[in-house]
Structure 1
């Protein structure tokens, strides 16, 4: 194989992918002077990986010179439908080019041509000179360049994963050769580049035609031989579009570029310039790498420091020193995300400066280690309290003294970063001594334990970093006035959740199985009705076949088209519901099929050997602080249809004569809104015990008494009340309740006329977010809003709505967490056998023995209603029954 290797990078598409790969962390990536840096950072990370893997002798990064190219002369509206590049990305492009220059990498752009044409031309030149060429892009159009000399690497997820396209892979994926792919594109068109193809020809049909005829031109040479069909008519009608599409899709491999292969040779890195750039951008990770590179010449950087450790076995446990009042750091390693089921990998323990590691988690059950973990007088730092507590419980160890949680601390400091990988979190704080799990386990993350030495190093680094970053994170919490939120809410609720998860909830499998059988009968009946109306059987789960039936055979009006044909989304079908009874039946079929597959089958698979479902609560997933349930998601069991509600009948108390008790807050978010806005009219409504939706209806419809409020008026008022909480527009409200935009605007105007201080709160919330860069709950939970100053109206508007909503939704989330903590304390104080088993946003569910029901009926509403003191009363409504369904 040749030693000459040419790497060609599609600068614009990779930068675009890089920008959106870290878009959620946009606020984390700003330089001291306010420049966004997420695209630069991700681009550099991608570059490091590609340079390592390809090891090129020559590199060129090609950029688009502008929007107008020779293709616009062929077709005026070429790429006309593309949205404007976000200003947050545009401002980073010059810096990416500066970075490339400092790294000794040539970049180039050519007026009137696209980056694709530069790459195509250079790939051709490279192949002619016997270079092995690698193209890196986010655009599959460039796969037409794949050949024996050229491999095209296309980004799959962000810029972290690449898919290699060779001629063989092209044939496997598309059924055509790279050059035939151009003809395939010509027939199907390209919505991204905004040029049309032949009507109703999608990828599969285009591929079959080109496989048969070899090219667009040959297809039209033989078009008369084709049987009469609608497709043939469309091919004839759109011949000019197909031929034009081929010209537009073809990369110009003979562009008049003024750069030679010699110009693309990798040059020496300008370390001084690069250092200044990294300092300017506050890229401390890359500065650390730079120091290592300079110290080691051109050797591969290795910024990780190595920690000394002692491998523990059953024979040398006496080596573990007595903590003697010192804090202990501990990490329990498990193979898999679901720590209720994951196998144990081992552990690491840090006492003073000594680190101990082992692959044998059963050692923790030895008396010396178990007593250490169960001693409440020994403070222990861990990565994730809930995960650690549950894991140790599985080993019959009741952990005590867990008082620091690195995951929760980092989450509160920046809740836009919701990674649960210790290495990734450490890197956010410039600590690179610990690798990410992806770096250690590879792409098959958490499927196989690495070799001993590497694994022990990884364990040692993890426990060391938990200890090392503790002061930094706690100081940041204190600076943000979040130390109280951390200590009195998040840490205590982690223990509450751990205990809830361990208890789980009893589920009667036979009830679910019978429901599944009943659903199967209904689904079968619906299928027969649908086939009867369609006049034929077809695959109901195929959007293409369904689209053919609805829009071609039954001639229903198409609402929306996709790249592959007609859209048959729920949104589209809802608009067509009144046009034909088949549409309602299709919607019912989908709903029941989802219940069958997702909930009946899904829940049955999650029942563990004890007859219970042990859901996991994600404490660090949402930016608002709301808890999320997974494995399975018990917060998402449908409630709008009776069939969905029936599923709750399978959730039962643990004792035959026991009860399921449910208690949920009444309109907690609106009560928080009344509190934070200080609106006198809204506060008076809650203090007087009015139905807030009826009260609002009186206001917006100018009625004299509640008796005049109709059910429809109340529904509209309810939509306005909750819409205002989410910063709804008149357009959004009009769509939600099916009224004109003018009416919706009038409703909102009337609302603000009656609740003027709510409007003042909204304006103030946006103003504060602009000043501070974040919104804040009553308990000082922060939601960072990097887009609050965005030039793009839609992006900025979303940030403004978030600034309004986050303090309300986040405060409601804090309130239910406080209620859970207080409730668990009350259960412990009274030595009750009742268990809190589920949290569904504003609702708490309990498994109650018969003889404790009367007590629970009194104390649960009391505890929930006294969780916090607002300017309006908190109300909690309760119910109970022999299953969760009856308790609602």
Structure 2
């Protein structure tokens, strides 16, 4: 027996509106709003699964004007304009429906209700079951033995299914009475007037007694209540007009037939690609293919791998894609597992490491600048090959950096993750091939080779697609002129490494141990007893019970002794400063001194790894070890830099750093006249700000005023709040707010910039640096105050911080180019925030004093001068 047909009709506008207002204002990494689409998608998948329909249609309103406006011009007149954040999601929903093989339809001059009503009527006449999905109770007039209306409530999470029985139970009315109920009570959302003063309860009571609108007016004298009778009499014309307006047209000229709406299910791969594109990662598993538990490798397209035994037997075209496989995180020591090369869509080579590195042909190809290679992580590649004496040239593309620039908020930029985001799934994740944890191992050579060349094929296949996105974002120059050349320079810096005086570190370790023991003894003396200084459970009672210090915060486990709490108690007892110093020095000992001793390589150097594709501002960071975070506020922290020395005798460490670069960038971007003038006239900006904020002359500015002005200056750059500033300066929020207000009064251009950039970010969904680096800010329109405030502060400071980061990157490129072109022996070693550290022979010192500041000052042209300070000495500590 053939199963009965079922038609599902979805009110697209109604469900989208419900989803939009039910969910937080989400957006994806491109800044595209997706909350309504996400809610709609979840509803659609649930309906398709629960109802298992044979026919489906999503109906949309065609436009603002319908045939009802001829009856009543003010129909829907009171409606607020559709939020632009929702409007832009309609096309995305239509794309979703296309990928789901679900028909969607709209009809000029008619509403979605009329389309649904007409098709429901036709299907019902053919004894087809109909399920209508909507958030609009007007649709209840369609309920019949064959038509159920499902009304969403509480957003989209709960649904009431109205059958004739449930309708009678809920409203004590029959379906055909719903029209008259709506005619009497009206509808504010659609600007349908109804009868003034008649609500749902009164309308139902009247219809229970008189059955219909006609019955009410035929027996008007029998209506109880003088006022109600008068209202009905005075509003008769409006009641019948409202009846017309709320009646769904079930004979609309709909051009789609029921056969057009046949539904045979969706293609999981199509939907998955759509979800990856819009960022619905949580829904990927929901639309997995049948038999998802089978070996994923069986789902991949086959690929022919040429195992190379002699590089002379193959032709390496240009351009081609190149992958160097290393699976250990520290590529300074990781073994190379092999090379994957794709020269066209059907030719893929796997070259084992021993064959590749023994081949002069291959080495020459790697070092030939005319042979263009498309790569992934050029810096890693540079370091790996330099270990084998090969200086790679001809890198024409880096997919890691391109992915990072177009998706800066993503945390995973490896080839499979990047490929999936671009809808390409013919490559496995490393964990699927190598395993993870204790089970991690190198597979047999055929599987290894296939995995590596799948990566090279992915690079070759996706390069043009990634480049289109880069160019659409106007970021081509950012990749090719800044990040790509910098990656090779960073690789060379990492491979060079920084020499370390191990004896100096060992001496510091011993000295610091003695110093910690002295502080520990002093703390015990002040406490009057010994205890475990590193145990908050033991420290808390000492401070807050025995010494009776004021309790600021308690946790579930006892008293809070966190650093911020102790800072507030610093002046309450001499034990507090000692504890803070003890903690700082303890961290210095374990994290930095002992930490540095652990990562010194056999060559006596530290080879850090610069993270070029990590921070959303574009700043570089470093790991293994982190050389950018050595604390320099404490004298003991500064002394750690004494251990960093030149790698050759009679050489020096030369350090150059930008003076207040972020404030200078702010002056340039904000175009504030007073700020511009201060920098052009070489005035001390903190003294200038103190003069403006405190309304005093330069000679009246004392150290406290300048320190507070400095905190305000840099706080503005970082979008600081009055609360944040109050914490920094240990003043009240009211005082902090007054500081900030006076700052903006003094520098109105800065205030205007801050307001404008937030407004622009809300429109675009992102902000950019001077060199077109983007940072997407989906939370900037969030209803959550904290999220929105953070995004607004980020919008203010990212163009400043990011532009400063871009400038120092360009300075590195310019400086490296100059040093090589003029055959200097001096070389770059490190970049630490706004500072560049080089090592150089003594005989080049005089030239460096002129060359380095000049190059750094002129790397970009701003409206204010870029001042550069420099210093040099026998150690990094001396170069201050």
- TM normalised by structure 1 equals 0.68
Structure 2 partner of 1:628: 621
Within a 5 Å distance, the mapping from 1:549-568 to structure 2 comes to: 549-568=542-561
Deviation for aligned residue 1:24:
14
Is residue 619 from structure 1 mapped to residue 612 from structure 2 by the alignment?
Answer: yes
State how far apart, in whole Å, the 2-side matches of 1:796 and 1:664 are.
34
Deviation for aligned residue 1:589:
1.3
Is residue 862 from structure 1 mapped to residue 854 from structure 2 by the alignment?
Answer: yes
Partner-residue secondary structure (3-state), 2:348: strand
Deviation for aligned residue 1:555:
3.3
State how far apart, in whole Å, the 1-side matches of 2:650 and 2:436 are.
50
Match of 1:599 among 579, 592, 608: 592
Q: Is the 8 A contact 1:334 1:344 kept in 2?
A: yes
Is residue 723 from structure 1 mapped to residue 753 from structure 2 by the alignment?
Answer: no
Q: Would the alpha carbon gap of residues 458 and 514 (structure 1) be closer, same or farther in structure 2, given more than 3 Å must change?
A: same
Structure 2 partner of 1:450: 443
Q: Would the alpha carbon gap of residues 38 and 755 (structure 1) be closer, same or farther in structure 2, given more than 3 Å must change?
A: farther
Structure 2 partner of 1:845: 837
Equivalenced residue count is 644
Match of 2:743 among 748, 751, 757: 751
Partner-residue secondary structure (3-state), 1:339: coil
Structure 2 partner of 1:67: none
Q: Is the 8 A contact 1:288 1:303 kept in 2?
A: no
Q: Would the alpha carbon gap of residues 446 and 786 (structure 1) be closer, same or farther in structure 2, given more than 3 Å must change?
A: farther
Is residue 398 from structure 1 mapped to residue 391 from structure 2 by the alignment?
Answer: yes
Deviations 1:599-627 (A, max 9, x none): 11111111111111111110011001000
State how far apart, in whole Å, the 2-side matches of 1:883 and 1:608 are.
19
Q: Is the 8 A contact 1:357 1:459 kept in 2?
A: yes
State how far apart, in whole Å, the 2-side matches of 1:621 and 1:31 are.
22
Deviation for aligned residue 1:672:
0.5
Structure 2 partner of 1:199: none
Structure 2 partner of 1:293: 289
Structure 1 partner of 2:332: 340
Deviations 1:565-601 (A, max 9, x none): 2222111121222222222222111111111111111
State how far apart, in whole Å, the 2-side matches of 1:430 and 1:300 are.
20
Q: Is the 8 A contact 2:27 2:33 kept in 1?
A: no
Within a 5 Å distance, the mapping from 1:326-725 to structure 2 comes to: 326-352=318-344, 353-361=346-354, 363-444=356-437, 447-703=440-696, 705-725=697-717
Is residue 878 from structure 1 mapped to residue 870 from structure 2 by the alignment?
Answer: yes
Partner-residue secondary structure (3-state), 1:869: coil
Q: Would the alpha carbon gap of residues 457 and 707 (structure 1) be closer, same or farther in structure 2, given more than 3 Å must change?
A: same
Deviation for aligned residue 1:308:
1.2
Q: Is the 8 A contact 1:437 1:446 kept in 2?
A: no
Deviation for aligned residue 1:348:
1.0
Structure 2 partner of 1:309: 305
Deviation for aligned residue 1:708:
1.3
Q: Would the alpha carbon gap of residues 270 and 730 (structure 1) be closer, same or farther in structure 2, given more than 3 Å must change?
A: farther
Deviations 1:822-869 (A, max 9, x none): 000110111000011110011001101010000000100000000100
Structure 1 partner of 2:774: 782
Deviation for aligned residue 1:631:
0.7
Deviations 1:735-790 (A, max 9, x none): 21122222222221211111111111011101110111100011110000001110
Deviation for aligned residue 1:370:
1.3
Deviation for aligned residue 1:277:
7.5
Is residue 319 from structure 1 mapped to residue 313 from structure 2 by the alignment?
Answer: yes
Partner-residue secondary structure (3-state), 1:601: helix
Q: Is the 8 A contact 2:268 2:287 kept in 1?
A: no
Deviations 1:707-733 (A, max 9, x none): 111111111111111111122222221
Larger Rg computed on CA atoms: 2
State how far apart, in whole Å, the 2-side matches of 1:24 and 1:830 are.
55
- TM normalised by structure 2 equals 0.69
| Displacement over 6 Å in runs of 4+ | 29-32, 38-41, 273-280, 282-292, 296-301
Q: Is the 8 A contact 2:689 2:709 kept in 1?
A: yes
Q: Is the 8 A contact 1:408 1:490 kept in 2?
A: yes
Deviation for aligned residue 1:281:
5.5
Q: Is the 8 A contact 2:26 2:33 kept in 1?
A: no
Q: Would the alpha carbon gap of residues 33 and 729 (structure 1) be closer, same or farther in structure 2, given more than 3 Å must change?
A: closer
Deviation for aligned residue 1:549:
2.8
Q: Is the 8 A contact 1:661 1:847 kept in 2?
A: yes
RMSD: 3.3
Match of 2:821 among 814, 818, 829: 829
Deviation for aligned residue 1:36:
7.1
Structure 2 partner of 1:35: 36
Deviations 1:267-297 (A, max 9, x none): xx99449899769867689999999937x89
State how far apart, in whole Å, the 1-side matches of 2:783 and 2:759 are.
16
Q: Would the alpha carbon gap of residues 668 and 31 (structure 1) be closer, same or farther in structure 2, given more than 3 Å must change?
A: closer
State how far apart, in whole Å, the 2-side matches of 1:771 and 1:423 are.
32
Q: Is the 8 A contact 2:276 2:420 kept in 1?
A: no
Within a 5 Å distance, the mapping from 1:730-745 to structure 2 comes to: 730-745=722-737
Deviations 1:70-90 (A, max 9, x none): xxxxxxxxxxxxxxxxx99xx
Q: Would the alpha carbon gap of residues 582 and 378 (structure 1) be closer, same or farther in structure 2, given more than 3 Å must change?
A: same
Q: Is the 8 A contact 2:618 2:806 kept in 1?
A: yes
Q: Would the alpha carbon gap of residues 31 and 753 (structure 1) be closer, same or farther in structure 2, given more than 3 Å must change?
A: closer
State how far apart, in whole Å, the 1-side matches of 2:806 and 2:292 are.
53
Structure 2 partner of 1:214: none
Partner-residue secondary structure (3-state), 1:348: strand
Deviations 1:234-278 (A, max 9, x none): xxxxxxxxxxxxxxxxxxxxxxxxxxxxxxxxxxx9944989976
Which deviates more, 302-311 or 706-715? 302-311
State how far apart, in whole Å, the 2-side matches of 1:533 and 1:492 are.
57
Deviations 1:289-346 (A, max 9, x none): 999937x899777543232101233xx44432242xx312111111311111112222
Partner-residue secondary structure (3-state), 2:828: strand
Partner-residue secondary structure (3-state), 1:635: coil
Q: Would the alpha carbon gap of residues 361 and 387 (structure 1) be closer, same or farther in structure 2, given more than 3 Å must change?
A: farther
Q: Would the alpha carbon gap of residues 853 and 446 (structure 1) be closer, same or farther in structure 2, given more than 3 Å must change?
A: farther
Deviations 1:417-469 (A, max 9, x none): 13242211211111111122233233329952133333222111111011111
Structure 2 partner of 1:66: none
State how far apart, in whole Å, the 2-side matches of 1:350 and 1:446 are.
30
Q: Would the alpha carbon gap of residues 274 and 600 (structure 1) be closer, same or farther in structure 2, given more than 3 Å must change?
A: closer
Deviations 1:218-244 (A, max 9, x none): xxxxxxxxxxxxxxxxxxxxxxxxxxx
Match of 2:804 among 812, 825, 833: 812
Partner-residue secondary structure (3-state), 2:336: strand
Partner-residue secondary structure (3-state), 1:27: coil
